[in-house]
């Protein structure tokens, strides 16, 4: 295993000093170390990975130095357009070092992974080949890793195109994030979900965002001995749960449809707000559980601290927006929302963190889909 401090120092010796991207749990230790030791203007967490490619391109144009872009391998999906139409050798030919945490990798058979990671894991290296991005898989020692980083630097200097370092799970030793904002709201995300669910209409549909939100909703239904046919537990597809909610709401106008979203997910594809505002679904309520962090992948900050999410939604055409923190405020706001035509948005400010023993859904995504479709 590699100490993230040693890896960071290695990058510094190669004059790779600018970081941007979206945090990933495979890269959690490295991202935490960077957050703790790099000033914010040189470690910019972007809304999505494609934004990071753009930012790294602008950095190179201004400095003639490549930047580092970190991401989970699923983030390659958000990068395909700028990697083919901006950085490619046949367009602008812009170098950068991609550090990609890989989930569901075909090279590690027998290792259990989440269903949303499997396909991407199978095709990650092929995607890099198709994109004509050479790559190295980071070895287990810092000495071997230095050889691969040097190879990347030579490529970027000679060819002026991206190079990728692929990181397997367990590559880095532990580093717990120290530079973190502490909040003192009455509830955490799970407590907010447990407050919300009993308040909703009996036949209401919930579309929950990827990560721990869906896991917490699933466990609460289990605890209540309820079925899961009214919930769509989004796995992967970060930032798209509000669009899924919109698709359901438009086709089932007599049912109330709620989106349980997160701040990082909402920010990743914030453009969905404009589509919801444009189409004005009367039965849609967008609930944003805002803990100001990428909680599922290490707790690095999102940009939510600088955004008034309700006002952004209202500017995009949501009819009514609210913010709450306590159980009492949530109850009052939901009661009011249920008397209004949508689209509406309720931001609930919560503390980050989750139970260590939090489980995962025991049903498959296909089973979840089938149950919901039968119910609808």
Asked if residue 221 lies in contact with residue 231, where contact means CB atoms within 8 angstroms, the answer is yes
Report the CATH number at residue 333. Answer: 3.40.50.970
Judgement on whether residues 144 and 217 belong to the same structural domain of the protein:
no
Q: Is 307 exposed, middle or buried (0-12, 13-18, 19+ CB in 10 A)?
A: middle
Note the pLDDT tens digit of each residue in 239-292. 999 999 999 999 999 999 999 999 999 999 999 999 999 999 999 999 999 998
> Has residue 158 been placed in a domain?
yes
pLDDT in tens, 220-229: 999 999 999 9
Domain span at residue 116 reads 4-167
Domain limit, last residue, from 133, 167, 201: 167
85 and 15 belong to one structural domain: yes
Q: Is residue 74 located within the same domain as residue 30?
A: yes
Cα distances (Å, whole numbers) of residue 334 to 230, 286, 320: 18, 11, 12
Residue that finishes a domain, picked among 167, 198, 225? 167
Classify residue 181: in a domain, yes or no: no
pTM of the model as a whole: 0.92
Residues 280 and 336 in one domain: yes
Say if CB 260 and CB 208 are below 8 A apart: yes
Listed in sequence order, the residues at least 6 apart from 241 whose beta carbon sits closer than 8 Å to its beta carbon are: 207, 208, 209, 210, 234, 259, 260, 261, 265
Same structural domain for residues 92 and 211? Answer: no
- The total number of structural domains that make up the chain: 2
Say if residue 225 is in the same domain as residue 333: yes
φ/ψ (deg, to 5) at 14 = -95, 10
Q: Which two tokens stand for residue 135?
A: 């790559």
Boundary-marking domain end, from 111, 134, 167: 167
Distances (CA, A) of 6 to 72, 141, 146, 219: 21, 10, 10, 40
Q: Which pLDDT belongs to residue 177?
A: 86
183 domain residue, yes or no: no
For the chain, how are helix, strand and coil distributed in percent, rounded to 5?
Answer: 45, 15, 40
pLDDT at 215: 94
Residue 136 lies in a domain: yes
- Strand (E) or helix (H) holding 173: none
> Are 159 and 45 in the same domain?
yes
């Amino acid at each position: 295993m590699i100490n993230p401090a040693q890896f960071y120092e290695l990058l510094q010796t190669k004059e790779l000093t600018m970081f941007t991207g979206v945090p990933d749990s495979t890269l959690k230790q490295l991202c935490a170390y960077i957050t703790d030791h790099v000033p914010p203007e040189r470690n910019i967490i972007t809304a999505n990975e494609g934004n990071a490619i753009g930012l790294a391109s602008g950095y190179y144009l201004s400095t003639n130095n490549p930047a580092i872009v970190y991401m989970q391998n699923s983030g390659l999906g958000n990068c395909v357009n700028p990697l083919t139409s901006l950085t490619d050798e046949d367009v602008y030919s812009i170098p950068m070092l991609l550090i990609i945490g890989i989930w569901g990798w075909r090279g590690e058979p027998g290792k259990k992974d989440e269903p949303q990671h499997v396909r991407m894991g199978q095709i990650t290296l092929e995607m890099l080949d198709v994109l004509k991005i050479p790559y190295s898989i980071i070895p287990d020692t810092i000495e071997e890793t230095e050889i691969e980083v040097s190879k990347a630097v030579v490529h970027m200097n000679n060819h002026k195109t991206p190079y990728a370092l692929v990181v397997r799970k367990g590559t880095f030793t532990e580093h717990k994030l120290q530079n973190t904002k502490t909040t003192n709201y009455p509830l955490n995300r799970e407590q907010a979900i447990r407050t919300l669910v009993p308040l909703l209409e009996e036949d209401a549909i919930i579309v929950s965002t990827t990560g721990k939100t869906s896991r917490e909703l699933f466990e609460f239904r289990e605890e209540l001995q309820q079925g899961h046919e009214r919930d769509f537990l989004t796995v992967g597809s970060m930032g798209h749960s509000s669009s899924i909610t919109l698709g359901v709401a438009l086709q089932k106008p007599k049912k109330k449809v709620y989106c349980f979203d997160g701040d990082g997910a909402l920010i990743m594809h914030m453009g969905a707000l404009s589509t919801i505002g444009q189409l004005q679904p009367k039965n849609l309520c967008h609930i944003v559980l805002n803990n100001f962090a990428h909680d599922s992948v290490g707790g690095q900050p999102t940009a939510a601290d600088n955004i008034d999410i309700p006002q952004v939604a209202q500017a995009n055409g949501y009819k009514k927006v609210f913010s709450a923190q306590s159980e009492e405020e949530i109850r009052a706001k939901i009661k009011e929302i249920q008397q209004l035509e949508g689209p509406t948005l309720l931001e609930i400010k919560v503390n980050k963190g989750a139970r260590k023993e939090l489980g995962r859904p025991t049903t498959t995504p296909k089973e979840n889909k089938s149950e919901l479709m039968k119910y609808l």
